[in-house]
Amino acid sequence: MSWWSGVWRSVWSALSREVREHVGTDHLGNKYYYVAEYKNWRGQTIREKRIVEAANRKEVDYEAGDIPTEWEGNTKE
């Protein structure tokens, strides 16, 4: 990650009030996060989402099955 993208991520997270809950890490080193529904700085409601942070890999390096289908298919209750 470049220096600028780190700065951008810090500014964006401060403005959006997005709180990531670390759910787990798989055997490939991918980190899984859950973000609950929240209101951003403009008062808009942002729905819940799940995020996968890749383990220092580019999108083109992924193969089918690198991210479990359970993570992609299910929603947190």
Q: Please report the pLDDT score of residue 64 as a whole number.
A: 65
H or E, element range at 32:
strand 31-35
Among 74, 51, 53, 71, smallest CA distance to 62 is for 53
- Domain map of the chain by residue range? 14-56
Residues lower than pLDDT 70 in the chain: 1, 13-16, 56-66, 68-77
H or E, element range at 7:
helix 3-16
pTM, rounded to two decimals: 0.59
Q: Please report the pLDDT score of residue 29 as a whole number.
A: 83
Q: Please report the pLDDT score of residue 49 as a whole number.
A: 86
Q: Please report the pLDDT score of residue 22 as a whole number.
A: 92
